[in-house]
Structure 1
Amino acid sequence: MARNPERRTALLDAAIDVLAAEGARGLTFRAVDARAGVPAGTSSNYFADRDDLLTQAGSRIHARLVPAPETVDAAMRPEPNRALVTELMKWLVRRITAERTGYLALLELRLEATRRPALQAELTRVVRAELDENVRFHLASGLPGDADTVLVLYLAMTGVLLEHFTLPGVLSEEELDRIVRTVVDAIVPAA
């Protein structure tokens, strides 16, 4: 396997672009090489097989979706209350919107994971670890609610984001903002 980490990252970013544009069926080494602008056969030097490429692309997507610690610190300056949770969920929508390609690729990977046990195991591990970290962060930050609050909020926001990205005309920007507030108000206790 090739050891150039910058090249590997560029290939994974190209794979994410291919997943978002063409779906999992369109993800081939040849398509990744073409999207990355590298000679044919390059990606096969970095990934053992298509399953390896899919799994590493999933890990890369999650890395791209995680906000920088300093932006999290800035977002957490206000008092930890339901209004802050609402702002954090609006921030989540803005961040995911800015990383639309990655989110669409993640949706493709999730569908592909229903047919590939190794990919499903890896995505499950990563998503579960992130969910556990979100619960830990929520509780440690003094935000209102408990672990179940975080879980239900996660599931509700996943549905909102799925709707927003797969059928963008269903919710206007104003409706999206209102739905985020409604979700938080329905799930997160006031105090």
Structure 2
Amino acid sequence: MTRVATRREEILDAAIDLLGTRGLRALTHRAVDEAAAVPTGSTSNYFRTREALLIGVAERLEDRDRADWEALNRLLGPVTVEHLVEGLARFILHATGPDRARTLARFALFSEAQTMPALHESLQRGHRRLRDWAIEMAAQVGIAAGDTTILVDYLDGVVVHRLGGAGTETDPRAALERLVGALTADLS
């Protein structure tokens, strides 16, 4: 049974799409109302300020990421090196393909967070949760927590480059296999 999104979630999803497709300047309460097809003033009722809206977007991104990670874990089953590589490759392809707008929205938030401490903390909290999830998965195949940071940083770089158009014609699996292989080499 699929859960129906609340009005607040619909507004935030529209804000994410607007932010990811049209940028920070396009993100206004009125534009979100229009994109979400809700009565004028609805976004403002939930999020009084721009900062509150941006923090809401960051939290909604984190919720959606968590749901995606849980679905991916169920799909892949027990973690093996092959499953880890496959899961990471799927993450890259999804983040830069079907979920491109959501990824671009996240990057737009990073820029804005430099002048908004509460938004910065919200984004850092989400990043820590992602890192903890990655550490947990990588530990199952013997990758140390410190080495998982290398893997997470690599993923961030690949996603940024693919969003910019570099490497979009290549499958990320081969490079991931090499990196994961190098990180697990001393285990053999």
Q: TM-score, normalised by structure 1?
A: 0.84
Identical pairs, percent: 28
Residue 62 of structure 1 pairs with residue 58 of structure 2:
no
Match of 1:75 in 2: 76
Residue 183 of structure 1 pairs with residue 184 of structure 2:
no
Match of 1:125 in 2: 125
Match of 1:95 in 2: 94
Where does 1:132-147 land on structure 2 (aligned, <5 Å)?
132-139=132-139, 142-147=140-145
Amino acid at match of 1:150: T
Structure 2 unaligned segments of length 5 or more: list them.
none
Where does 1:1-191 land on structure 2 (aligned, <5 Å)?
6-66=6-66, 67=68, 69-77=70-78, 80-81=80-81, 83-96=82-95, 97-139=97-139, 142-165=140-163, 167-168=164-165, 170-174=166-170, 176-189=172-185, 191=188
Task: Measure, in 1, the Cα distance between the counterparts of 2:45 and 2:116.
Answer: 22
Contact 2:85 2:173 in 1 (8 A): no
Aligned residue-pair number: 181
Task: Measure, in 2, the Cα distance between the counterparts of 1:135 and 1:172.
Answer: 26
Contact 1:86 1:184 in 2 (8 A): yes
Change (3 A) 1:147 1:111: same
* Secondary structure of 1:114's aligned partner: helix
Change (3 A) 1:174 1:68: closer
Contact 1:64 1:102 in 2 (8 A): no
Contact 2:76 2:87 in 1 (8 A): yes
Contact 2:138 2:148 in 1 (8 A): yes
Change (3 A) 1:52 1:156: same
TM superposition shift of 1:59: 1.2
Output the aligned Cα RMSD.
Answer: 2.1
Task: Measure, in 2, the Cα distance between the counterparts of 1:158 and 1:85.
Answer: 16
* Secondary structure of 1:39's aligned partner: coil
TM superposition shift of 1:128: 1.2
Change (3 A) 1:185 1:173: farther
Amino acid at match of 2:83: L
Change (3 A) 1:65 1:99: farther
Task: Measure, in 2, the Cα distance between the counterparts of 1:9 and 1:102.
Answer: 14
Task: Measure, in 2, the Cα distance between the counterparts of 1:72 and 1:136.
Answer: 11
Task: Measure, in 1, the Cα distance between the counterparts of 2:26 and 2:184.
Answer: 40
Structure 1 unaligned segments of length 5 or more: list them.
none
Contact 2:134 2:152 in 1 (8 A): no
Question: CA-to-partner distance for each residue in 1:60-92, whole Å, 9 max, x for gaps?
Answer: 1122223263541331346x23x3332121121
Q: TM-score, normalised by structure 2?
A: 0.85
